[in-house]
Structure formats: C-alpha cells, structure tokens
C-alpha cells in the first residue's frame, strides 16, 4: 500500500478533491486515506462525530446539484478511474459528547462514578492525564446492550462502504476488544471481501499491538517515524507483530509536527525518512503537503483550505521514484525477516531483508546523519546477503549500473541506497 493522506479540512469541498487525487496518482500512490468526513459535534473536531450518517457540512459543496452522499460517491468513482482506492477513518471507540446517541443509548457508554458519561483520556510521559472532554467513550466491553452497539457500528461501516470507501483506518483500535473487531471484520468481509482494515495503535504497547493485529486486521500502523536508526525497540515490535499483520510506516502524520519544520527545512532528512518508511514496511503513508515541505501542522479543528502553503519546495519527483521502486520490487512490499547488520561506522544503517514469499533479498544502506556525509566501504557486498549472487542498485537517484568489489561509496547527507538480489531457487 502506498497511501496519500488527503486531509479533508485542508482539501476543502468534496468537489475540490480531484486536483489532489491527480497529484497523488502522478506520484504513484494507490490508496487515498481520508480523515473523518461525518458531521461533527460542537467542538468541530473531525474525530468528534455527532452523526455517523450525515456528512460534514463544511465539506459539502452547496453549489452542486448533487446530494452530499452523491458528491462523495462521485469523488470515489473519479479516484477508482485513476487506480486509487479510498480509505477513511473509522472512529467507533468514542463519539461527540453532544451527540444524540448519548441520550438515546446511554447504555452504550462508559460512565463515571457520579453517573455521567466518561470521556476518553490518555497518560502522557511524566504521568500527566489528558482528557478529551468533547468526546464520549463507548463501552464495547461492558455495555448492557452489546449486540445493539455492535449492529450500530456495523451499519456505520456499511454506510461508508456504500459511499465508495474500500478501506478503514481504525482509530485507536486497541481500545476496542479484539472479539468485537474479529466479528466486525468477518461480517463486513463476507459482504465485501476486498475491504481492507488497518489498525491505528499509536501509544499502545507492543503486546497490545500484537493482540489487536490478531483480531483480523489486514495492516497495523507502526512507529518507525520515531526510530533513531539504532535502538532495538522498532525491530523487536516489527518481528513481534509481522506474522499477525503487516505494517505501514509514515515519516509524519496529522498527529505529528511537519517533518520539514521539525528538521529546520532539511531536504535530505525529508528524503531519508520517506525512503526508509517506504522500504521498511509493507505499506507507506504520507499526508498532503509533505511533497511541498509544508510547515504548518494539520489540525483536526482549525485547519482550512486557506492554510495551503506556497513553497519553493517540491519532492514530487523523488516520491514518485521511491513509490515506483516499492511497486516494482516485492521485497519492499512485505514485513519479512529483517536484520540490522553491524557496521564499523555508527553513522550508517545497514539493513537486510529476506522475502518469505519469493527468493528476493534487499539491502538498505542509509546515512543516519542528514547533515553530513558518511563513507561506506566493504570488500564484497555479497557477504551481506544469502544469495551469493550479484546485487543490483535500484536506488531512486543515480543508481549505479555496476557495483565494484571492493565497494567504496561516499553517502550524501541522509542518503539511502537500495540494493536487491535473488536467492537461487
């Protein structure tokens, strides 16, 4: 999966999305992920949904003669013609606290000791508790009407499938019991077998991610964005989960700072992080604006189309080349046995991947430092792979037609080289 995150508050009306779909298609993406598009509660947050069966008025084009639902269906049809599948956020762990659902079905919600409906919360580093007061937390585990709540959630998914969505990013999936997901995913796939479910598990433990993945998800989102290219935790999580569900990496998301801002406008860091995200995991995702080095973070309440930035930055050609590399070489489309190989220079990451579905192998040589060059030298590159066969350089920029022995190369700041080979069958 090569996913482009179309952020609805930045993209504007449904009828204005085609220009963004065109750009995503030209860059080689095959999926479009859209954050929630349903009617919000009084806070205005995309993730505070008041009515799951009405669309957000701010996204509806009042000049169109088509109904809101027809506008979405038309957008989905345009995307499909370009080979793009639409994925949308599925937010069923909570709803808006001012939603009619809280009054019509109080039994579906968790409650505080005083009887009031509970709000979702999280614990930040340092023990600080963050409470989302605009949200009401569904109680999938202890509700007195589990079947009623389940059927309601199933209707939500069916409604979104009917609008043309082929995939779901399941928000905070680990906060909902695995048996609920297993039932929902199984029921929906009986009706629509090609629908894809991806679990968002940001902030949970590796064990929670694994148990969530085992509920039947097709993909899980990983945390490679925060990896320092050295600590063991990423590969530990990767191998714990990969046989349950493949993963999706991202260099930034709507929940993070903009990487171009975070790195003080470092082009090499942008290339480094996108290429690593694309090669490390089965899937890769980036939000709109990454390709132009946007600096303003996406905001689930305040972002507007007027926040579109005019920059002199353009990574589209690089992203297109990386996406083409990923699409062409299956070794970079799976979560497979992956190892960091020790190397004398701590500023260089050497990573080996071996497919379990084919005879393919991949070797990633990455300069961890996006500010300085690093020298890489080895007597024979073949010592790093099982094949014993010559490797081919498939890097998106300046691929080498011949890899000499010994191999000596000056890695530019943040540069990532991608090499592939095949084991003898």
CB neighbour burial string for 94-127, b if at least 16 within 10 angstroms, e if fewer: bbbbbbebbeebeebbbeeeeeebbbbeeeeeee
Q: Answer whether residue 264 shows pLDDT above 90.
A: yes
Residue 239 pLDDT grade (very low, low, confident, very high; cuts 50, 70, 90): very high
Q: How much is the pLDDT for 56?
A: 99
17-49: pLDDT as tens digits: 999 999 999 999 999 999 999 999 999 999 999
- Average of per-residue pLDDT across 261-290: 99
Residue 204 pLDDT grade (very low, low, confident, very high; cuts 50, 70, 90): confident
Q: Answer whether residue 362 shows pLDDT above 80.
A: yes
Q: Residue written as tokens 């919360």?
A: 121
Q: Answer whether residue 237 shows pLDDT above 80.
A: yes
386-418: pLDDT as tens digits: 887 889 999 999 999 999 999 999 999 999 999
Q: How much is the pLDDT for 131?
A: 84
Structure tokens at 369: 């430092």
Average model confidence (pLDDT) across the chain:
96
Instruction: Give the 3-state secondary structure of 134-154.
Output: CEEEECCCCCCCHHHHHHHHH
Q: CATH classification of 2-328 is 3.20.20.80, yes or no?
A: yes
Distance from C-alpha of 201 to C-alpha of 213, rounded to nearest angstrom: 9
Percent of the residues in the chain that have a pLDDT greater than 90, as a whole number: 93
The full set of domain ranges for the chain reads: 2-328, 339-422
Q: Which of 2, 6, 53, 27 minimizes the C-alpha distance to 315?
A: 27
Q: How much is the pLDDT for 29?
A: 99
Structure tokens at 147: 């079947």
Residue 206 pLDDT grade (very low, low, confident, very high; cuts 50, 70, 90): confident
Residue 202 pLDDT grade (very low, low, confident, very high; cuts 50, 70, 90): confident
CATH of domain 339-422: 2.60.40.1180
Q: Kind of pairing, strands 247-249 and 196-199? A: unpaired
Q: Kind of pairing, strands 283-287 and 247-249? A: parallel
Looking at the chain, the number of H-run helices and the number of E-run strands are 11, 21
- Quote the Cα angle for 2-81-31, to 5°: 15
- Average of per-residue pLDDT across 253-263: 97
Q: Which of 160, 143, 138 minimizes the C-alpha distance to 69?
A: 160
Q: How much is the pLDDT for 424?
A: 76
Q: How much is the pLDDT for 376?
A: 98
Distance from C-alpha of 322 to C-alpha of 418, rounded to nearest angstrom: 10
Q: Which of 291, 279, 241 minimizes the C-alpha distance to 360?
A: 279
CB neighbour burial string for 251-279, b if at least 16 within 10 angstroms, e if fewer: bbbbebebbbebbeebbbbbbbbbbbbbb
Percent of the residues in the chain that have a pLDDT greater than 70, as a whole number: 99
Q: Answer whether residue 125 shows pLDDT above 90.
A: no
Q: How much is the pLDDT for 299?
A: 98
Same fold, 2-328 and 339-422: no
Distance from C-alpha of 363 to C-alpha of 351, rounded to nearest angstrom: 6
Q: Kind of pairing, strands 31-34 and 2-6? A: parallel
Q: Is the dihedral of CA 393, 288, 153, 208 positive or negative?
A: positive
Of 5-19, 144-158, 201-215, 395-409, where does mean pLDDT reach its minimum? Answer: 201-215
Q: Which of 18, 10, 15, 9 minimizes the C-alpha distance to 61?
A: 15
Helix (H, G, I), strand (E, B) or coil at 5: strand
Residue 214, beta-bridge partner list: none
Q: Which of 270, 277, 293, 286 minimizes the C-alpha distance to 370?
A: 270
Q: How much is the pLDDT for 425?
A: 66
């Amino acid at each position: 999966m090569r996913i482009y995150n179309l952020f609805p508050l930045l993209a504007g009306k449904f009828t204005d999305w085609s220009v963004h779909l065109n750009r995503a298609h030209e860059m080689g993406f095959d999926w479009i992920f859209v954050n929630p598009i349903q009617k919000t509660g009084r806070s205005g947050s995309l993730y505070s949904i008041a009515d799951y069966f009405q669309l957000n008025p701010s996204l509806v084009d009042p000049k169109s003669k088509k109904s809101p639902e027809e506008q979405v269906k038309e957008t989905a049809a345009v995307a499909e013609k370009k080979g793009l599948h639409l994925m949308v956020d599925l937010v069923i762990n909570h709803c808006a606290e001012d939603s009619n659902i809280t009054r019509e079905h109080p039994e579906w919600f968790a409650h505080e000791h005083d009887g009031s409906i509970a709000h979702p919360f999280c614990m930040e580093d340092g023990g600080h508790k963050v409470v989302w007061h605009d949200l009401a937390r569904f109680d999938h585990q202890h509700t007195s009407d589990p079947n009623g709540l389940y059927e309601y959630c199933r209707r939500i998914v069916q409604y979104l499938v009917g609008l043309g969505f082929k995939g779901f990013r399941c928000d905070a999936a680990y906060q909902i019991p695995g048996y609920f997901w297993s039932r929902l995913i199984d029921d929906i796939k009986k009706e629509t077998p090609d629908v894809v479910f991806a679990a968002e598990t940001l902030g949970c433990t590796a064990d929670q991610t694994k148990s969530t993945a085992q509920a039947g998800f097709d993909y899980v989102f990983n945390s490679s964005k925060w990896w320092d290219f050295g600590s063991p935790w990423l590969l530990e999580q990767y191998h714990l989960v990969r046989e349950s569900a493949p993963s999706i990496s991202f260099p930034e998301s709507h929940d993070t700072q903009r990487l171009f801002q975070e790195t003080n406008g470092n082009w090499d860091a942008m290339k480094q992080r996108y290429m690593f995200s694309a090669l490390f995991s089965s899937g890769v995702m980036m939000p709109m604006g990454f390709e132009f080095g946007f600096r303003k973070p996406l905001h689930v309440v305040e972002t507007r189309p007027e926040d579109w930035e005019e920059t002199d930055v353009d990574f589209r050609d690089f992203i297109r080349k990386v996406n083409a590399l990923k699409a062409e070489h299956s070794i970079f489309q799976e979560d497979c046995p992956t190892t960091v190989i020790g190397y004398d220079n701590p500023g260089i990451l050497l990573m080996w991947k071996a497919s379990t579905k084919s005879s393919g192998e991949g070797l990633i040589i990455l300069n961890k430092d996006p500010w300085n060059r690093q020298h890489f030298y080895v007597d024979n590159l073949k010592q790093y792979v099982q094949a014993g066969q010559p490797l081919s350089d498939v890097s998106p920029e300046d691929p080498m037609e011949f890899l000499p022995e010994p191999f000596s190369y000056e890695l530019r700041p943040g540069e990532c080289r991608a090499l592939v080979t095949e084991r003898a069958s």
